[in-house]
Amino acid sequence: MATRTTSPGRSASTARGSKARGSRSGAGPRGGGRSTRQSRPQRRSLPVRMARGLWMGGAHLVGGTARSVGSGAKDLDPALRRDGLAFLLLGLAIVIALREWFGLSGIAGDVIHHVAAGVVGVLGVLMPLALVAMAVRLMRHPERAQANARVSIGLLAVTAAVCGLIHIGSGLPSPRTSFAAVESAGGLLGWLLGAPLTLLLSEWGAVPILVLLALFGLLVVTATPVAAVPQKLGSAGNWLLGRGPAETAEEPTAELVAADGTHRPPAPRRRKKQRATDGEAVVPGEYAADEAFTAAAELEPADEAATTAMPGKGRGRRRTAGTAATAPTADSAGADKAKDELTAPPTSPLPARAEQLELAPDVIYTLPSDEVLTKGAPHKVRSAANDRVVESLTTVLTEFSVDAKVTGFSRGPTVTRYELELGPGVKVERITALSKNIAYAVASADVRILSPIPGKSAIGVEIPNADRETVSLGDVLRSSVARRTEHPLVVGVGKDVEGGYVVANLAKMPHLLVAGATGAGKSSFVNSMITSIMMRSTPEEVRMVLVDPKRVELTIYEGIPHLITPIITNPKKAAEALEWVVREMDARYDDLSAFGFKHIDDFNAGVRAGKVKPLPGSERTISPYPYLLVIVDELADLMMVAPRDVEASIQRITQLARAAGIHLVLATQRPSVDVVTGLIKANVPSRLAFATSSLADSRVVLDQPGAEKLIGQGDALFLPMGSAKPMRVQGAWVTESEIHAVVDHVKAQLQPTYREDVIAPVAKKQVDEDIGDDLDLLLQAAELVVTTQFGSTSMLQRKLRVGFAKAGRLMDLLESREIVGPSEGSKARDVLVQPDDLPATLAMLRGEAPAGDPYDQDDDDGEPVYDVEAEPVAAVEDRYADGVEGHLPPAAATFDDGADDSDEDAWELTGR
């Protein structure tokens, strides 16, 4: 049985094809012969087939070699590829120079000449110079690789325009008539550009067009906008005439004023390298703490706070707020080679103050020169470590299937913040949940995730740099942001995570809490702050009270004219100094109220303008008030010795002293709740947290976590007043030799004039130990009992608004001092002191020797004033010569609440 293997359709088509072939075959002998030749091609001879096989084999060999070389070149280091291109350009320059300059003969020379002259004409003579220049640029400036495309386009435009002009000037030769004439003119490039323009616009229209094209190419090559052409020409003229570079107003650098939290403007344009000044001072490194800087380098200024965008990432092209343009992309190996070419942030010299401050008829105080503070290391924009971290972050996101990509990073001196942009529908929590995985991938335990970055729709991953930089205080004070204001209380803080300088105005903060573990950089910041004050302000503008319970941190500043009292090392005297600050604040507010001013700046302006004059009959000479800066280096020691007095003084100062020009800086290495109490935190709005030892300490300082993840050595979180989130900064570093140089400069001009009443004891001297902190209540109780001649414990509870136990203890203290008699059951105690003896009794309770009746004088309000004789005061100004009278808190008003005082004594219930 046979089976059909072909379909009917195919059989029909086959049959039709057979009939057609049959008809064609019967068409004649010509048709049949052609069909036979097509179906049976003739076989080539053996030599032809061997030659063809050799040719195809060689072609395949060359193609395979080229493909292998191309794939190997892709895997090659980008720096090596760039160097290879540079050497190729040098080789072409040498070959062309051999023919065009030295007349190389032979077939090779003719081919080289026809290629070079045929393309650009007579400009072929200059082609070797252009190739050498491009090769040198590739090898010497690898960090400018991103600008090579721009330079190439500009050079092509200039070359084409010049070739076109040469072609028109040579009579418009055509390659159809004489190719040699084209080679001796503008070449094929000039013919392709000049001939059509001349045909369409004539020579009068073509020449201006080509000139404009050449000018456009020059602007593209030099990256100069049209608006900047006059400035460039002026700079070139000054350079030709041998002058220095023209003084131009520097653009504001990328930084953030700590007090107001405003966004930073873009950084200035790159400027060419300038020669170092001849008078640069060299501070000898004779102190042990100077190892951070061994020499000051004169480097080229660079753009600040640049956010480097990742190549090929479209979403990463958006610039950050307050940052400069996107930095050029450099490959990992090229970045290592370019370390010597790294550029330093732009700085400007300290301007000479127009108005010199005359402190005495024969003394003119001058600020220290900016040459005293050395320059820091150049800022690094990118390194090979950054590229490796980007690859690790991308790998982690891919492995955990998170739709996010690294769009760029901002390298700071200590950490680099990598920016991640999420895809649609991806939660932020998916990134924050990967913090440990990211730390594992980048081999660093100190990874901090910022979600989101303030002002940007991106998540920040802050990772410490393997090659961290040191921020010099001199660079911070020389930055344009520090130069924008001459306020005497502006201090240098450091650099933020984007590389921008950060300064803070203590007058706007207005008080600052600095906390951190041992070795975190707290003392370095205090030194930078005091040095900034000495560099920018005179003793008449700012006076300081330094409290150093450690006895070694601030001794270097002993004897500077800015001090209003010697450095205080005794915690008890520090508490008395804070009480003096409170009295000074009250005295300043009295003047502000008397003359109708709201702030000390307005009062000082009125004094300088002659609008504030003393009252008639007064011998007082009114002079401007200086700012008073109180710096406590270790708050914990003060809180252990006199917690109540210190906390009360700090509370009053921080609540009221801003308008009086008094500002407080509290530093501690133990930020616990018993040191930084709730009252202190509530009145100190600005915080600077260095690395803390625990999460609890971070919450005490910042009211949020974060400080426990800092890496120390100046790494800090800065939370100025009014800012919602803290920003990460690297604190400025100042060496001991620099501090000594600044201190020697200010001490050589003026000797300090101290006020002895700052640490002079006032109302209480030798209080009995059993009284403790209840002296104020005991004085009020004694005055109440003696004036009313009624010794009842229940009366003390009502009048003084204290509890039963406190009232009973006060009555026991009065009994032990023989002010009241013993308890007689339900009856009131006998009062043993007459009202006439009350002043002596109160003096005895305060531990003072009774010296006359202190009620001889009354103040303006009719309240008694306890006149305490103070030691003679060495006045800095006439205002200080009047002395300050100490006012004790008045006793509680004795009021009658309508209760019957003859009721049962509460002490009867105790059986006493």
Q: Rounded CA gap, 718 and 800, in Å?
A: 44
With a CB cutoff of 8 Å and minimum separation 6, the contacts of 625 are 588, 591, 600, 603, 604, 660, 661, 879
Q: Which has the higher per-residue pLDDT, 710 or 76?
A: 710
Q: What is the average pLDDT score of the chain?
A: 74
CA dihedral 482, 484, 490, 492 (to 10 degrees): -10
543-597, pLDDT tens digit by residue? 999 999 888 889 999 999 999 999 999 888 888 899 999 999 999 999 999 888 9
Q: Which of 469, 468, 461 is CA-nearest to residue 441?
A: 461
Does the structure show a pLDDT above 80 at 766?
A: no
Tell me the pLDDT band of 8, cut-offs 50, 70 and 90.
very low
Average pLDDT over residues 80-100: 79
Does the structure show a pLDDT above 60 at 327?
A: no
User: Token pair of 641, please?
Assistant: 């010795």
818-834, pLDDT tens digit by residue? 899 888 887 889 899 99
Q: Rounded CA gap, 221 and 158, in Å?
A: 9
Does the structure show a pLDDT above 60 at 442?
A: yes
Give Rg (Cα) of the chain: 43
- The answer to whether the annotation marks 198 as part of a ligand binding site is no
Q: How many CB atoms lie within 10 A of CB 237?
A: 11
- The answer to whether the annotation marks 521 as part of a ligand binding site is yes
For residue 536, the model assigns a pLDDT of 92
For residue 262, the model assigns a pLDDT of 42
Does the structure show a pLDDT above 80 at 848?
A: no
727-753, pLDDT tens digit by residue? 899 999 999 999 999 999 999 988 888
Percent pLDDT > 90 in the chain is 18
Which CA distances in Å does 745 have to 280, 531, 556, 815?
A: 17, 12, 13, 61
With a CB cutoff of 8 Å and minimum separation 6, the contacts of 30 are none
State if pTM tops 0.85. Answer: no
For residue 93, the model assigns a pLDDT of 83
For residue 275, the model assigns a pLDDT of 37
For residue 547, the model assigns a pLDDT of 92
Average pLDDT over residues 491-509: 91
CB-CB contact of 643 with 571 (8 Å) = no
- The answer to whether the annotation marks 569 as part of a ligand binding site is no
- Name the phi and psi angles at 359, rounded to 5: -85, -25
The most confident of the ranges 132-146, 243-257, 350-364 is 132-146
- The answer to whether the annotation marks 28 as part of a ligand binding site is no
| Locus of tokens 């800065």 | 718
For residue 62, the model assigns a pLDDT of 78
- The answer to whether the annotation marks 891 as part of a ligand binding site is no
Q: Which of 123, 220, 119, 221 is CA-nearest to residue 169?
A: 123
- The answer to whether the annotation marks 516 as part of a ligand binding site is yes
175-216, pLDDT tens digit by residue? 777 777 877 788 888 888 888 888 888 888 888 888 888 888
Does the structure show a pLDDT above 60 at 126?
A: yes
Q: Which of 657, 693, 699 is CA-nearest to residue 678?
A: 699
Instruction: Encode 351-366 in three state secondary structure.
Output: CCCCCCEEEECCEEEC
For residue 183, the model assigns a pLDDT of 78
- The answer to whether the annotation marks 572 as part of a ligand binding site is no
Q: Which has the higher per-residue pLDDT, 715 or 346?
A: 715
Length of the chain: 912
- The answer to whether the annotation marks 20 as part of a ligand binding site is no
Q: Rounded CA gap, 138 and 338, in Å?
A: 12
With a CB cutoff of 8 Å and minimum separation 6, the contacts of 126 are none
- The crossing angle, in degrees rounded to 10, of helices 838-845 and 775-788 is 160
CB-CB contact of 279 with 741 (8 Å) = no
- Name the phi and psi angles at 598, rounded to 5: -100, -20
Q: Which has the higher per-residue pLDDT, 759 or 279?
A: 759
Q: How many CB atoms lie within 10 A of CB 538?
A: 21
Tell me the pLDDT band of 488, cut-offs 50, 70 and 90.
very high
Percent pLDDT > 70 in the chain is 71
User: Token pair of 784, please?
Assistant: 């109440």
- The crossing angle, in degrees rounded to 10, of helices 127-140 and 148-169 is 170
Do the strands 404-411 and 415-422 form a parallel or antiparallel pair, or are they unpaired? antiparallel
Does the structure show a pLDDT above 60 at 15?
A: no
Which domains does the chain carry? Answer: 74-235 (no CATH), 284-464 (3.30.980.40), 512-597+627-749 (3.40.50.300), 775-910 (1.10.10.10)
Q: Which of 889, 888, 905, 890 is CA-nearest to residue 798?
A: 905
DSSP 706: -
Does the structure show a pLDDT above 70 at 433?
A: yes
Q: Which has the higher per-residue pLDDT, 440 or 4?
A: 440
Does the structure show a pLDDT above 60 at 890?
A: no
Q: How many CB atoms lie within 10 A of CB 396?
A: 19
Q: Which of 596, 586, 707, 705 is CA-nearest to residue 657?
A: 586
